[in-house]
A and B are shown apart, each in its own frame.
Chain A
Amino acid sequence: MSRDKRTGRIAVCAVTCALAIAVSVLESLIPIQAVIPLPGIKLGFANIVILFLLYRYGAAEAVTVAVIKCLTVNLIFFSVTALVFSLTGALFSIVFAIVLKYTLSEKLSFVGISVVCAAAHNTGQTAAACLLLGSAAPLSYLPVLLASSAVTGSITGFILLLIDKRLKKI
Chain B
Amino acid sequence: MKKADIIPIAAVIAAAVILAFALVPRGADTVRISCENAVYEYPLSENRQIELYENGINLTVLIRDGKVSVTNSTCRDQICVHTHTGNIVCMPARVVITVGDGDYDYVAG
Contact = CB atoms under 8 A, between A and B. Distances in A.
B15 A119 contact: yes
B92 interface: yes
A146 B91 contact: no
A139 B18 CA distance: 13
Interface residues of B, number: 36
25 contacts: A79-B92, A104-B4, A107-B2, A109-B5, A118-B12, A129-B91, A132-B91, A132-B94, A136-B102, A136-B104, A137-B34, A139-B19, A140-B86, A141-B87, A141-B89, A142-B19, A142-B23, A143-B20, A144-B16, A147-B12, A147-B13, A147-B17, A150-B12, A150-B16, A153-B12
Given A39-B79, A111-B1, A135-B34, A150 B89 contact: no
Nearest to A78: B76
Interface of A: 37-40, 79, 81, 85, 104, 107-109, 111-113, 115-116, 118-119, 129, 132-133, 135-144, 146-147, 149-150, 153-154, 157-158, 161
B25 to A, nearest CB: 7
Contacts of B105: 136
Contacts of B8: 108, 112-113, 115-116, 119
Contact of B5 (A38, A85, A112, A132): A112
Contacts of B1: 109, 111, 158, 161
B12 A146 contact: yes
Interface of B: 1-2, 4-9, 12-13, 15-17, 19-20, 23, 25, 34, 77-79, 82-83, 86-87, 89, 91-92, 94, 96, 98, 102-105, 107
